Amino acid sequence: MPSHRPRAAASATLAWLALVACGNVATGPIHEPRVRTMLPPLSTGTLAVLGVTVVPMSGPDPRPGQTVVVRDGIIVAIGPASEVEVPPDAERIDGTGRWLMPGLVDMHVHLRRTDLSAYRQAGITTLRSMWGTSEVATLRNELLAGAAHPTIFSAGPGMDGDRPVHPGTVVLTDRAAARQAVRSQAADGWDFIKVYNTLDPAVYAAILDEGHRAGIAVVGHVPFAVSIDGAVELGQASVEHLTGIAESVADGRAPAGWLSFNLLAGTRVSHLLAGRRVWVCPTLTVLEILAGNTLPPASAAQAVSHQGAMVKALHDAGVPLLAGTDGGYGRVPAGSSLARELELMVQAGLTPYEALRTATVNAATFLGLDGQVGTVSVGERADLVLLSANPLADIRAVRTPVGLVQRGSRIY
């Protein structure tokens, strides 16, 4: 999670309006997802899950007593045992009394090799890495060579102004350098451009404009000097940690800023984001951890409640949400924190089905993978997680996966 220096939303809006008045900003399009990463190879062979209740995520109704057949990494049949023939060479998995849903996606991680097993044990089959490093590049190359890593999408090294927080930051202070940096990261094969806190508004605008030209989505923080209105107008694809939003609806992004919350302002921002289909990855888990570390218990609970209220307002307005955790950053545990993220979404007022969509269907749509992952459907890649209880009845069932199939290969 980033530093938490609050700023006045009004001054940021004035700076934004000044750029528009000078003709230095071109409005960006609604984000259209595009797959840039080459998907890793599928496994060979056949497996079948027998007698399982399928949670397809293509709709809210589970399907009991199903047989699911996977051949060469693709789901080829789903139906009652009386209607689905199990190939004699299939590896058989007993699904009696269990629930089968799509593999989970954590859409905001800081990826380290040492965390790969934790993601698998949490039922996570796809990751969006939010900071490109040489280690992430190596892991992606290994993945294409057949390694059993979760599928990895990744931003390049983060872009920031002249007060960077993290090592490896691409420091940008003029527009020409910003445009070249975007072109360079696109050419290097990164999937997204990551923007950060201290970018100058004109440099930020150049990054967004060049990103649209290069066909690469810009994601990350809303910089301190840019309002949420400006980020939306420029076409930032996803907003992380409620940055920019916090400054418009609360007293800033620091945990203490969330002790206040203006629901009317939250409703306005939600409809603004929905109208341009800007995605939001709220990372409630890391916000909860930060509040617990810096505020008295009662105040921390109030801050978390207000953050949840903002997420509910976003959801009700139709803003597409993504489940992400900041796993691998600071005190946020990799893997297991995604279950907590989903629990906090339910606590905020989403149904379990709605919360699960943020880590399955929504993630697939953002990544441009509709029809390939995100549901349990014939023709999709077999990224599947097996649970011992019904997650639609109790979201806490996601905490304890009992089986994982990744790209058609049984992991456990």
Q: Per-residue pLDDT tens for 101-137? A: 999 999 999 999 999 999 999 999 999 999 999 999 9
* Model confidence band, residue 2 (pLDDT cutoffs 50, 70, 90): very low
The answer to which of 6-15, 102-111, 144-153, 345-354 has the lowest mean pLDDT is 6-15
- Within a 13 Å sphere around the CA of 47, how many CA atoms are in the beta-carbon half? 21
> What residues contact 67, with CB distance under 8 A and at least 6 apart?
48, 49, 50, 51, 52, 77, 78, 79, 80, 81, 84, 86
Q: Flag whether pLDDT at 11 surpasses 50.
A: no
Mean pLDDT of 259-275: 97
In this predicted model, what pLDDT tens digit does every residue of 49-69 receive, in sequence order?
999 999 999 999 999 999 999
Which pTM does this prediction carry?
0.92
CA distances from 112 to 50, 87, 248, 373 (A): 35, 39, 34, 24
Q: Which domains does the chain have, with CATH numbers?
A: 9-38+104-366 (3.20.20.140), 46-101+375-410 (2.30.40.10)
CA distance 144 to 40: 5
Among candidate residues 289, 205, 193, 209, the one with its CA nearest the CA of residue 241? 289
CA 393, distance to chain mean position in Å, is 23
